[in-house]
Structure 1
Amino acid sequence: MEFYRVLLADDEEEIREGIRRKIDWGKLGFTLVGSAENGMEALELAEQLHPDVVLTDIKMPYMDGLELCRQLKQFLPASKIVVFSGFDDFEYARQAIGMNVSEYILKPINAPELSQVLSRLREQLDQQRLEHEDMENLRRKYEESLPILRELFYTRLLDGRIPPDQIQERAARYEIELPEGCWTVALVLADGGSSKRDELQLLSIQAFFQRHFALDGCILYTVLYNETIALLIQLKQKSQIYGLTAELERLCMLAESLLGLHLFVGVGRPCQGPAQFYESVKEAAAAADYRVLMDSGQVLYIGDLEPNHSAYLTLEEDDLRTLSTAVKLGSKEKVAQLVSSQVSRVREARLSLPQSHMFFMEIVTSLIRLAQANGIEMETVFGPNFTGMVSITDFRSLDEMEQWLVDCALELWEILSRQRSDSAWKTVEQAKIFIATHYAESDLNVETLCAYLHLSPTYFSTLFKRETQKSFTAYVTDLRMQHAAQLLRDTDEKTYLIAERIGYTDPNYFSYVFKKHFGLTPSKYRAGQGS
């Protein structure tokens, strides 16, 4: 069993040692990972050790227990805090409760009372652990929900609501195999039938197609979809589409004999992979709508009904969002791949020139909007004298147009990457300048700095540590110690004056921090000149 971690803070060594010896930590499910003699030391240890429970006195030098609680509430909100106090004072208790303190114990502390408190905290921590770590229960619920999740996946896939780059990952998550290749989508509708029989009827049709479908080299998936049965069929090649329609005709006649159901099937054009199911299923629905006009035939293929059909392509909202996200946050390879995939759609659809131009302009417009939203001049991205007016006829080939689009998208990606990097660097540099200007002020803290920068303390702390490899507290302490050492070497000022000059109101605490930093007291450092 993994023990919960406890940090103890009290300025009286006798009390710390007594608590350490008299509490049976292991029996209660805890381990004492650290102890501190003041609030500042406790805060530093808490940042390193991330304790589950903090036991702290209220009255301590350098930083009292209530201030420690306030800091811990911000940086370790999940930790349980127990406060000791020698004062039976309502105001102390009220402030402690306001800082999310779990328990308030009056001194003198006795082992049985503290053990009871720890037992209660362990129950609370156990409950939290169960809620967060009961993976077996979550796995069981997931497995029970898997059939429903698969149906939702198929529905979202056919509706075009899954980004292409996420399809295979999500399919694998639900244990579904959808290999790339030639596919088509068909929709099966039943003619007539009462509403009471609809669900049972759909399930019987689904089972029927799963049992009786037989076309050499083809893979069939059946899905309940919008009160129809969607057939997802992988073909060996596009020319097999007419062999498929013949097999579906056979199954419709067989269903009428065995099930007494008159079925219609609409078949979409073959497509390249699951990412294009959305287009094929729309065509299948359009084909099925022709049944009202047809005198005979139960299987309707859109390629027969609209042989001169020229597909109309448009950038869907998901396409725009995916491209925008890639340019802002993705890799160069991802950006190039997305732009090229959109141009490939134009090639495969064999659009007319006006339709190709409209689709081309949709891509250009999406890049222009992204540039404008980030304050970037259009000429910087698209080249000198660019006004937004560009035509597909300005290019000698689709390959040339594709390369221009890729180059523009990558230029925008590069500029946005620099903006993000520059912004983080500038913020940290501003912080360093502020600290260098105000380090001598005793009340300098992260809240003051963040108010100046207009940032949240949590975001700033993460950003600052990532860029400097130091916490705010450690950085300020290091800077103050550098100045203290210089003053000790270059001046004859007394230690308490040097402490005041670098932001310490308590000379004793300054000496404590200095010795901890350099391994020598200020006086010995001065005598040895820091050697």
Structure 2
Amino acid sequence: MNILVVEDEPIALEELESLLKSYEPGHTVYSAVNGLQGLELAKRHCPDLIVTDIRMPGMDGLELIRQIQQINPNVEAIIISGYDDFAYARTGLQLGVRDYLVKPWKQKSLLTVVGAILEQLSVRCEEKRKADNWKIIRELEGRNPYSEQIQALSGEWIIMVSTLNNLRSAHKWVEHEPLTKTTIAELLFSVHIVFPDSHLQVVLFPCDEGTTKAVLQQSVQHIHEAYANQGLNVHSIAVLKKDDELSHEAYARAIKMLEQQIRLESSTYTYLTTEYAAIDMIGVWNQIRALEALIANREIKHIRPQIDRIVMQIRVLKVPAKEIGSLVNDMFTALQFKLMPDRNSPYIDMEIITDTLMSITSYSELADSLEKWLLEFLWNLGGAGKEPRELVHKLMGQIRHGYHRTDSLIQFAAEHHISVSYLSRLFKAEAGMNFSEYLIRVKIDQAKQLLELETLSVSKVGERVGYEDSKYFSQQFKKYTGLTPSEYQKSCKILPPK
């Protein structure tokens, strides 16, 4: 907020200025020795609050308020006078003056009034900012009501759109709000910043005569690099909204271009261009043909290594995320056409796959997802052995009969030609807990049964269920039962009747 102090008495002005400086740096204080000088300052800085004496040479405080209200109709004012004159107070009230202080005024009274006004102005300003931002968002998305004919973004603007990692990743802009505020504050001119959704940040740069093209480009790049230098994978595109172009048309163009440039595990930046070099995908498709042969022959144990080769080639070529989506779609279409040409409905829900590909942020996630989808495809074809649910229940049975084997997940995955990571996800989805949690619970349940028999010591029971360290066994047992093994054993004793 801008605060303008106007007082023709030097000592009084110095005291007012010193008091109000306590509101800096959140607010800026300007001072003038008379009404005419105050009006010139108001024209340059558009004050939100005026604190002014009434009787001054050249232009009194009331006339100053009248003229500043023509610059900013929402300006708030406090008048100070050494004359307890009701006529001045009445005129001030007609002008909407918030308070009238009579000299000698008390510091506490002034600070209380100013503090209350600044707080209300901050709330009002924030409400206006949100309303303006919502109008801009609606305009960018082409959702402005027909009654709103005037564009908020009239003229030429640079529209900078950025996303973190991917268009639907778990990373959201709200997590980096402090960095955003600091970066925007470092610019040499004001910009608008809005968030159409949690994944998209839009910064709007006005292309006025006072800002050169070089400064605009440097400012856009400065914002992008502020995030990239923090180790974030940020993708930014900047397009020019022309004077005769609708805002939503320029924004839609920016989103389309942004989708085309997003890569996994990297940052990308494009400024005022639509040129993209074509990528030679012949090598990738040759690898996919080899994968199709493995699936057709049900060579399950070779599927994951081949997926890794495909993903590695995609990584080397830096294939955009959007093109990866098209590639996967075409791959499953070709698979179904070759393996089940008579089937019309798809085995795999491509909408789910597309949404997933817009949220993944790494090549390892891509490989895991491809493996998951391809194994589901095989199971649907009826050629990959047991269904996922059957596999999990078979593994759970093995755990119950061989709970002391800590390597059972790895061995089971190898025996059934499935990756450990995929088997882990299947297990958690079916069992409601991860493999290690389930294994511990089985061990504790077996330990409880052995303790109830009272034929083994606590340390022997721990060894039987796979715990060589009896102290660690006691800690785990208490964590899951609330009792130590000895306490549990005692609680199970049957006392003779009295």
- Shared fold, TM over 0.5: no
Q: Whose relative contact order is higher, 1 or 2, with alpha carbons under 8 Å and at least 6 apart?
A: 2
The TM-score normalised by the length of structure 2 is 0.28
Higher helix share: 1
The TM-score normalised by the length of structure 1 is 0.26
